[in-house]
């Protein structure tokens, strides 16, 4: 009660009344600048000045507003400059909203705390810092500020915390930032900064945390002067192209608990002096070019939990002291040249959670106590020379989630329970010398069943005995690879309970008996191989119920009777092999049978039919069938042509109507900007005219435009969205567009703005001077002598892969492109690749762009084969399309049209290289590429072949593609 009395008295006095009313007016103006402020600010009663101190986010002292906290209220709009009338503010937080446009915070002499992070604010930060000189915290992280770093902040003598990361600041880090001697926290990460890191930053001796990496691209190395930052606790200089050696002066930072230098170009030996960092908890030097051995001084790093040295060129043994580090939880040393044995005591500390020593030259046995306290979750030891049995204790390691121990020399039997661990999602033991039988799952508790296992690979071992019926416990299993063993007996009918299975390979065993008809219940199978066994009896017709199967191999068995005609109805089948069995009767000549090779049926002497050129008693009518097939293809082609003409006519009519209105509809336009822009809707509409057209496609028409300030843009007018009111003003669609607008990656075209009214949607992109990759390879410039050289092509391949990798793996939410092609990879003035038009095909399909487009995701020649029968796309569909782009880069050929009827670039390259042999790559390479490093061309071809495999499961991820392309040149 006393508080309200004091407040009332203070409001009645004339000076205080005037000041309080100023606060009220400022807050009202602030609210008026917001879009959709309710219900978040429902308590802001703008008709009651006396209630200001009760408003949400407002805190007062002596009747004046001293703190305004609007964090994470999902507010939109802009921040009114009248906020500066809150002249008693100590704290101001606008973080975690969707504010756009510029912002200026000035004339607040009492302000100490300012947080405007996680918005979409643009412009610069060149404020009058003298008028806010008491500021201690400035957090502008994750906005769209595009300018050089502000130097006015040198006026902030009390500044302790500065975060300008996650923006588009460019140029060099000003050396004068070394005068901000009161700083305790500095983050400039995630910008477009270049040049050298100023040595003057070594003067910031009070600094506790520094972040300079991620998307910045610095020249030179780490300044030795950073060794003076003795208060430093956290240093993150990762992913910013630093080169040279790690300065030994960093060993002076004895308070450091985190050192991140990964994903750079650092070389030389790891300094012994880093062993002085006895407080170190996290050390990541991975993905560099470091050489030498692990320094023996690292024995002093007793607090180390994370130890990452993977993807370097280190050699020597893994020191025994590494196993004795008492706090070690993550040890990743993969892809180096380590030799010798794994320390026997590794795991005895009971805290190891992740162990990855793969792709080295390690020998000897697996340590027996690797999972002594059931903490181990990831165990990856593949591609070494390890021998001996798998430790029995791993059979009870219930914490394991991922196991990869393939391609070693392990022997003995698989420990009981090992393949049935309850948390497993991946188990790989392929290409070893494992023997014995697979035991049944002795644990009948439903909570302990391996319901998460997605992939089990035991291929190429010496395993024997029957297949356990407990395989049915794997309710989530997608890939089961048991080929190249000595399994015998019948295939258990319980195999049909694996409803999620995509790939099943039981080939090269000694399995016998009938193929169980329950196999037809595995309706998600795309790959089925039971070849080279002793299977007998008929082929069960239930196989035809697997509607998306595209690979079926039953060759070299003892199967008999006739081939089920129903197999001909499996439109998904692209490869079959029934050769060398005891099949008999007339070979069906309907459906898919018409497309299978005769070699798929050879070795069955009692089979007959025209495909085999072996006459049966009843003559076939293949000629009439061919005629019917040709008629169907003709009708189908005419249908596509009519559909295309209808779509084109509709587009022309709509374009003419748009042109007559001058691009301006009676309904109002709305523009949402995602970057710093200095243009209006009217400026954008001026670009939308026939003379500016630079491209047309299924997604829309693209216009070139020049804004009043001289900046060039590309404006895409989206086609096929029905009335734009349904989408342009639909919250879900707009949210998706805003997601695309918020994507930031060096190799992805930036979406600058989105304009819409009730009839039209326009997307405004940054303009790419050198057009598309398709034009550069196949267009007029290419034929006129402007040929892309090999270095440029390889660089484009890596950059485009990085862009797609970001969409698939690092973007939130993850995005499937759906239309990867060379025309959707754009090149800037430096021929740097930028992926374009991602995500839009999803909207086109949802919007029913046309009957032609609604059934197609992608462009002819780039579409993955499985799409023909699933009508679904995922990230592996993008991988296939990217493989086609790689073939374009390598061969200079278009995806279709130059190889004969029905043959595309994938089929042509396979045929010419005699089954994708790398040593035959010179038979397909673009003859304009002179000179050409054949080894690199062969590697690019190898990666392309992996991407365009018919079975989507076997294609690599885009993360794998980036790694394969990048590492080859390291």
Which of these is catalytic: 23, 819, 837, 878? Answer: 819
CA dist., res. 25 & res. 27, Å (int): 6
Per the CB < 8 A criterion, the answer to whether 216 and 240 are in contact is yes
Residue 5 is inside which H or E element, if any? Answer: helix 2-12
Q: Nearest-CA neighbor of 708 among 729, 678, 732?
A: 678
CA dist., res. 429 & res. 404, Å (int): 6
Give the angle 890-892-893 at the CA atoms, nearest 5°: 115
What is the CB neighbour count within 10 angstroms for residue 64? 19
Name the token pair of 160. 């302790």
Q: Is the peptide bond before 232 cis (omega within 30 degrees of 0)?
A: no
Q: Bridge partners of 188?
A: none
CA dist., res. 220 & res. 265, Å (int): 10
Active site residue 819: yes
Q: Which residues contact 252 (CB under 8 A, 6 or more apart)?
A: 227, 228, 230, 273, 276
SS3 645: helix
260-to-209, 667, 790, 858 alpha-carbon distances in Å: 12, 53, 34, 40
**Residue 395, phi then psi, degrees to nearest 5:** -70, -15
SS3 422: coil
Per the CB < 8 A criterion, the answer to whether 310 and 356 are in contact is yes
Per the CB < 8 A criterion, the answer to whether 322 and 333 are in contact is no
377-to-343, 352, 373, 398, 447 alpha-carbon distances in Å: 19, 8, 11, 9, 18
Which residue bears the tokens 């062993």?
A: 275
CA dist., res. 544 & res. 563, Å (int): 11
Q: What radius of gyration do the chain's Cα atoms show?
A: 33
Per the CB < 8 A criterion, the answer to whether 483 and 510 are in contact is no
CA dist., res. 149 & res. 779, Å (int): 41
Q: Nearest-CA neighbor of 788 among 887, 890, 672, 702?
A: 890
What is the CB neighbour count within 10 angstroms for residue 268? 14
CA dist., res. 878 & res. 858, Å (int): 9
Name the token pair of 916. 């994708």
Longest dimension (CA), the chain: 115
CA dist., res. 58 & res. 69, Å (int): 7
With 0-12 / 13-18 / 19 or more C-beta atoms within 10 angstroms meaning exposed / middle / buried, residue 575 is middle
Q: Nearest-CA neighbor of 580 among 552, 600, 551?
A: 600
Give the angle 201-272-970 at the CA atoms, nearest 5°: 80
Which residue bears the tokens 């709509």?
A: 654
Q: Which residues contact 473 (CB under 8 A, 6 or more apart)?
A: 420, 441, 449, 450, 451
Q: Which residue numbers are catalytic?
A: 819
């Amino acid at each position: 009660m006393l508080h309200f009395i004091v407040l009332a008295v203070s409001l009645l006095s004339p000076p205080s009344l005037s000041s309080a009313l100023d606060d009220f007016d400022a807050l009202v103006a602030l609210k008026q600048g917001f879009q959709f402020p309710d219900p978040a600010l429902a308590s802001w009663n703008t008709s009651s000045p006396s209630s200001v101190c009760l408003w949400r986010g407002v805190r007062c002292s002596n009747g004046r507003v001293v703190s305004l906290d609007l964090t994470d209220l999902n507010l939109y709009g802009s921040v009114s400059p009248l906020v500066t009338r809150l002249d008693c503010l100590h704290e101001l937080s606008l973080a975690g909203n969707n504010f756009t446009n510029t912002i200026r915070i000035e004339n607040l002499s009492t302000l100490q705390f300012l947080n405007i992070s996680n918005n979409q604010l643009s412009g610069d930060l060149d404020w009058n810092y003298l008028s806010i000189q008491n500021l201690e915290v400035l957090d502008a992280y994750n906005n769209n500020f595009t300018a050089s770093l502000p130097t006015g902040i040198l006026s902030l003598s009390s500044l302790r915390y500065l975060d300008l990361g996650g923006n588009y600041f460019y140029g060099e880090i000003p050396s004068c930032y070394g005068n901000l001697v009161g700083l305790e926290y500095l983050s400039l990460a995630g910008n477009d900064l270049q040049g050298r890191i100023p040595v003057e930053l070594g003067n910031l001796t009070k600094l506790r945390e520094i972040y300079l990496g991620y998307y910045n691209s610095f020249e030179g190395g780490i300044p030795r002067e950073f060794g003076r930052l003795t208060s430093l606790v956290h240093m993150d200089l990762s992913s910013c192209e630093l080169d040279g050696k790690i300065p030994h002066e960093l060993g002076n930072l004895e308070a450091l608990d985190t050192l991140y230098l990964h994903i750079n170009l650092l070389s030389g030996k790891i300094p012994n002096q880093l062993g002085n960092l006895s407080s170190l908890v996290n050390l990541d030097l991975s993905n560099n070019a470091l050489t030498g051995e692990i320094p023996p001084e690292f024995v002093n790093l007793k607090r180390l939990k994370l130890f990452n040295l993977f993807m370097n060129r280190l050699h020597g043994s893994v020191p025994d002291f590494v196993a004795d580090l008492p706090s070690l939880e993550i040890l990743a040393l993969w892809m180096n040249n380590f030799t010798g044995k794994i320390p026997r005591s590794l795991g005895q500390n009971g805290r190891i959670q992740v162990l990855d020593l793969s792709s080295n030259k390690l020998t000897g046995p697996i340590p027996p106590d690797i999972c002594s306290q059931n903490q181990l979750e990831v165990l990856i030891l593949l591609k070494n020379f390890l021998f001996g049995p798998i430790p029995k204790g791993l059979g009870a390691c219930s914490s394991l989630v991922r196991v990869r121990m393939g391609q070693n020399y392990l022997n003995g039997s698989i420990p009981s329970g090992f393949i049935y661990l309850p948390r497993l999602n991946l188990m790989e033991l392929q290409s070893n010398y494992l023997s014995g039988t697979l035991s049944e799952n002795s644990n009948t508790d439903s909570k302990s069943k391996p319901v998460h296992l997605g992939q089990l690979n035991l291929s190429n071992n010496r395993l024997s005995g029957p297949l356990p019926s407990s395989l049915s416990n794997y309710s989530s299993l997608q890939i089961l690879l048991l080929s190249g063993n000595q399994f015998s007996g019948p295939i258990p009918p319980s195999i049909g309970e694996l409803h999620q299975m995509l790939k099943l390979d039981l080939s090269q065993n000694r399995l016998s008996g009938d193929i169980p008809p329950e196999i037809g219940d595995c309706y998600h199978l795309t790959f089925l191989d039971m070849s080279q066994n002793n299977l007998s009896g008929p082929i069960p017709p239930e196989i035809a119920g697997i509607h998306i199967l595209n690979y079926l191999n039953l060759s070299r068995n003892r199967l008999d009777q006739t081939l089920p005609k129903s197999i001909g109805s499996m439109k998904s089948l692209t490869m079959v092999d029934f050769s060398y069995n005891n099949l008999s009767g007339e070979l069906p000549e309907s459906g898919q049978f018409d497309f299978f090779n005769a070699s798929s049926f050879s070795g069955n002497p009692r089979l007959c039919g025209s495909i085999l050129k072996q006459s049966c008693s009843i003559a076939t009518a293949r000629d009439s069938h061919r005629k019917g097939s040709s008629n169907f293809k003709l009708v189908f082609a005419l249908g596509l042509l009519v559909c295309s003409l209808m779509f084109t006519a509709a587009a022309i009519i709509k374009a003419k109507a748009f042109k007559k209105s001058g691009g301006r509809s009676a309904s109002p336009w709305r523009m949402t900007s995602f970057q710093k822009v200095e243009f209006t809707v009217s400026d954008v509409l001026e670009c939308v005219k026939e003379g500016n057209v630079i491209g047309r496609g299924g997604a829309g028409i693209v216009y070139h435009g020049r804004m009043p300030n001289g900046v060039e843009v590309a404006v895409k007018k989206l086609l096929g969205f029905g009335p734009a009111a349904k989408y342009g003003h639909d919250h879900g669609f707009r949210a998706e567009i805003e997601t695309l607008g918020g994507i930031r990656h060096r190799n992805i075209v930036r979406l600058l703005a989105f304009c819409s009214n009730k009839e039209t949607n326009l997307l405004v992109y940054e303009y790419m001077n050198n057009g598309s990759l398709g034009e550069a390879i196949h267009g007029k410039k290419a034929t006129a002598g402007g040929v892309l050289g090999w270095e440029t092509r390889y660089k484009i391949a890596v950059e485009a892969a990085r862009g797609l990798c970001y969409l698939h793996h690092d973007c939130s939410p993850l995005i499937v492109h759906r239309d990867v092609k060379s025309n959707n990879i754009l090149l800037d003035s430096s021929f740097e690749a930028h992926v374009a038009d991602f995500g839009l095909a999803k909207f086109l399909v949802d919007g029913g762009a046309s009957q032609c487009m609604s059934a197609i995701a992608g462009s002819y020649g780039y579409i993955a084969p499985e799409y023909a029968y699933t009508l679904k796309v995922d990230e592996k569909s993008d991988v296939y399309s990217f493989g086609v782009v790689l073939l374009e880069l390598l061969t200079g050929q278009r995806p279709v049209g130059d190889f004969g009827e029905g043959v595309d670039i994938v089929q042509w390259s396979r045929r010419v290289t005699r089954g994708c042999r790398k040593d035959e790559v010179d038979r397909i390479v673009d003859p304009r590429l002179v000179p050409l490093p054949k080894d690199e061309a062969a590697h690019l071809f190898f990666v392309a072949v992996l991407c365009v495999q018919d079975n989507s499961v076997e294609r690599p991820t885009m993360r794998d593609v980036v790694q394969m392309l990048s590492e080859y040149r390291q």
